[in-house]
Chain A
Amino acid sequence: MATVTLADDLKPLHHPKTFIGKYVWSQDHKVIAIQYSLTAIGIGVVALVLSALMRLQLGFPDTFHFIQPENYLQYVTMHGMIMVVYLLTALLLGGFGNYLIPLMVGARDMVFPFVNMLSYWVYLLAVLVLVAGFFVPGGPSGAGWTLYPPQAILEGTPGHHWGIITMLVSLALFIVGFTMGGLNYVVTVLQARAKGMTLMRMPCSVWGIFVASIMALLAFPALFVASVMMLLDRVAGTSFFMPAIVSMGQQLGYQGGSPILFQHLFWFFGHPEVYIVALPAFGIVSDLIAVHARKNIFGYRMMVWAIVIIGALSFFVWAHHMYVSGMNPYFGFFFATSTLIIAIPTAIKVYNWLLTLYRGDIHLRVPMLFAIAFLFTFIHGGLTGLFLGNVSVDVPLSDTFFVVGHFHMVMGVSPILVIFGAIYHWYPKITGRMWNETLGKIHFWITFLGVYAVYLPMHYLGVLGVPRRYYALGETAFIPPSAHIANEVITVAALIVFAAQMLFFYNMIVSLFQGPKADPNPWGATTLEWQTPDTPPRHGNWGPKLPVVYRWAYDYSVPGAPRDFIPQNEPPSDGVRHHPT
């Protein structure tokens, strides 16, 4: 049975006249999306610079005297936290979620535009508080991105005075801001779909962002609780997480707190967070592959169900991050099993992407290159995940560079490749201009080959036993000279990848002014955002009349149709035979 909800076409839109009303305190989802994206990319560049500094230290120890051990730990911490929360989550949900959801489901805007605007400004405040950590006495926290107590707030950890406080306050603010945005993403999908847009006619991108938003709404409260309680441990002297402890020869006034409780709360947020980042990427990459292979996505229903199942399962695997924290072995058995079960829906998705490519009319344009590159890095990262998901294999590999290589492949590089693909894909719609294809291809090849040069050797280093988070390896019997050479090579590759990103920024900024005018639908895509009357879409998106949806999002290469795609808002006609499946 197909059902639809009617979008509210009668509610008047708030049309501001002034520049500030239009572009600063804007309630237009597209402007908010761009604000979110630019802020996230801006803070992401800070994290990228931090990673370059870390690589310089690791590749060439004893060379850069301004990088002291405590600075290195601060770089590690801030790089991780910024990349996971303030860049990936904010860019995929706040940026792409905001831009794509209303356009793809055929709505004029988010359902609560004012709350949506507030969400961005609270996010910006969170970013500013986080950045303030660089300028407080003692610098930002160096506790590692997981912020495990007791060390996170003890003397000896960099930033234990103020840095940890700015970090925790910033996280709490981020969660408040995100909850406002997340409510909008979820309720807009549920309530504001255009006439004819059933749930199963939504593009995979919307499904990914929708399920990820629900997950984020359910997972972030755990981080909120953990942040508030740790803040009280630090500021008010409570003992939620702090056990009785002697620090620097002094008995501290803590007793009885449970560090493991923090780890449970953190990872109850932390593991779903992986999929909060991955599911939007899954959704977007499905659409990129279908559009640029001119084929309907293989097994659309399976793709949607897999997204939902992965989202649900990811709440039952968190303790696989805690195998070495001291856990009842039976728990390890349970969590290893649930972890490996997630591989099933994930494998379904990977096979379906490959089968969508199979005998497709593949156009190797830049977005498609990034989408295919994602398949490589994601399969790679997923397979090393199978190693780490097993307790007995994880124990020796835990806290080595194997783990660093694994999670950068699976939740760092993979979503970032999709984000690049998505930016190249939707840039013509967002700006009305085309970017430079040659520069885009150079950017792609350096980035793709470069990240392999960076992260593949890390797995070998990890198997050798090279520990993560160490400022310098020093003289160690089990680490051969070749490991040091590998570290140098990784650093050189990382710096080349770093430099290649300047090509991307150059391309995007110059094309904004000098790029040729873009066709409203340059890729021949079926989804609604390409069918807007204006490019870029104006406030209200659809002109006087909302679109009406007659078909699903993947009518590509339909036999008998005049073009190799049929937009979702094109009424059915007789001569067209529908998919024989």
Chain B
Amino acid sequence: MSIFADLTEKPWLTPGLGVERPERSTAAVGLGVFLGVVTVLFSLLTLAYLMRMGVHGPVIDEGGHDWRPVTEPPLLWFNTGVLILTSLAWHGAQLVARRGEMTALRAWLIAVGALTLIFLIGQIIVWRQLQAAGYFMSIRPGLCGIDWSTADQPLHHFLTGNPAVAFFYVITALHGLHLLGGLLFWGRATVGAFEGEGSALLAPRIGLCARYWHFLLLVWLMMFGLFLMT
């Protein structure tokens, strides 16, 4: 392993230039580090979710007695499908970008943008469906007036104030925000494709965007699985 070779070098013994290493793409390394940060973020959310459910040892009865499973709206399956299609569309864009087929690339990029927007709108509709079904984040009016409608309901109302729903909102919101951030880079690539930038310049950028979307799909599948199992 070269990392061990690097870290066990005795630098005082070897003055001179050393051996050159093949260059890596800086943007790719940057993305890799960032994905590490996002992984930690969602892992911690998952752990918090499980701990709040009460699955940490002997305190199940104390911690999690107000946790009630949520019936996921069927629309979530549709949204998941859309996100999978988005990843496939990125894959398509990647293939044509490498071959330099600019017209096809533009079509794929528009497809990506449209599918991502459909996913995000779908998630917002899921939120509204949950709310319509009586799943609120809290059992009391918050400071900014969220959920005033539940203020007069009794504390033991079986659907209100469910931490599972609160986690659902937080996790989907953070995931959606990451997708929105990705759309910035999608926008730059798309503008580039329409202004006729060369595919040599575009292909690596599209590759990185695709990697980011695949990663967010993976995160989503993990989180969706977590919601379904609990």
Contacts and interface: CB of A to CB of B under 8 A. Distances in A.
Interface of A: 1-6, 8, 111-112, 179, 183, 186-187, 190-192, 195-196, 198-201, 217-218, 221-222, 224-225, 228-229, 232, 234-240, 251-258, 261, 264-265, 268, 296, 300-301, 304-305, 308, 328, 548, 550-552, 554-555, 572, 578-579, 581
Interface stretch (B18-26, B125-133, B201-209, B217-225): B18-26
Interface in B154-184: 155, 161, 163, 166-167, 170
Contact of B41 (A199, A224, A240, A308): A224
Contacts of B24: 5, 191
Contacts of A257: 52, 163
A229 B170 contact: yes
B142 interface: yes
Contacts of A572: 15-16
A551 B15 contact: yes
Nearest to A192: B26
A253 B139 contact: yes
A305 B4 CA distance: 11
B25 to A, nearest CB: 9
A257 B64 CA distance: 8
Interface string B13-47: 11111111101101001100110110011001100
A139 B50 CA distance: 35
Given A191-B24, A235-B144, 15 more contacts: A183-B33, A191-B29, A196-B18, A198-B9, A200-B6, A225-B44, A236-B147, A237-B139, A251-B155, A256-B64, A257-B52, A300-B12, A550-B16, A554-B12, A579-B12
Interface of B: 2, 5-21, 23-24, 26, 29-30, 33-34, 36-37, 40-41, 44-45, 48, 51-52, 57-58, 63-67, 137-144, 146-147, 155, 161, 163, 166-167, 170
B14 A2 contact: yes
A581 B52 contact: no
B142 A237 contact: yes
A225 B148 CA distance: 25
A183 B138 contact: no
A232 B6 CA distance: 46
A235 B19 CA distance: 57
Given A112-B30, A236-B146, A261-B48, A255 B139 contact: yes
A195 B155 CA distance: 67
Given A5-B21, A261-B51, A255 B170 contact: no
B208 to A, nearest CB: 13
Contact of A239 (B15, B138, B146): B138
A217 B67 contact: no
13 contacts: A3-B20, A186-B33, A217-B33, A221-B37, A225-B45, A235-B142, A237-B142, A239-B139, A239-B166, A240-B166, A252-B140, A257-B163, A554-B12
A112 to B, nearest CB: 7
Contacts of A300: 11-12
A236 B52 contact: no
A261 B50 CA distance: 10
B166 A550 contact: no
A239 B163 contact: yes
B36 A304 contact: no
A111 B18 contact: no
Contacts of A578: 12-13, 15
B7 A239 contact: no
A328 B16 CA distance: 56
A217 B37 contact: yes
B6 to A, nearest CB: 5
> Lowest 7 A-B CB distances belong to which pairs?
A253-B140, A237-B138, A2-B18, A256-B66, A552-B11, A237-B142, A236-B142
Nearest to A239: B163
Given A191-B29, A236-B144, A256-B163, A198 B12 contact: no
A572 B138 CA distance: 69
Nearest to A252: B140
Nearest to A566: B15
Contacts of B10: 200, 301
A221 B40 contact: yes
Nearest to A238: B166
Given A1-B5, A187-B26, A196 B17 contact: yes
Contacts of B19: 1-4
A32 B38 CA distance: 26
B149 to A, nearest CB: 13
A520 B57 CA distance: 62
A190 B29 contact: yes
Given A239-B163, A256-B66, A183 B34 contact: yes
B11 A200 contact: yes
A203 B98 CA distance: 41
Contact of B30 (A4, A187, A238): A187
**Residue of A112, A252, A301 with most partner-chain B CB within 10 A:** A301
B43 to A, nearest CB: 9
B161 A255 contact: yes
A3 B12 CA distance: 14
B17 A550 contact: yes
B23 A6 contact: yes
Q: Which of B18, B19, B139 has the most CB atoms of chain A within a 10 A radius of its CB?
A: B18
B29 to A, nearest CB: 5
A385 B2 CA distance: 37
B138 A5 contact: no
B26 A229 contact: no
Contacts of A3: 2, 5-6, 18-21
Contact of B26 (A191, A235, A236): A191
B17 A4 contact: yes
Contacts of A554: 12
Interface-central residue, B65, B138, B167, by most chain A CB under 10 Å: B138
Contacts of A268: 44
Contacts of A200: 6-7, 9-11
A257 B67 CA distance: 10
Contacts of B29: 187, 190-191
A74 B163 CA distance: 31
B7 A305 contact: yes
A288 B22 CA distance: 34
Nearest to B12: A579
Contacts of B44: 221-222, 225, 265, 268
Given A183-B33, A256-B66, A234 B143 contact: yes
A200 B52 CA distance: 44
Nearest to A195: B17
A415 to B, nearest CB: 24
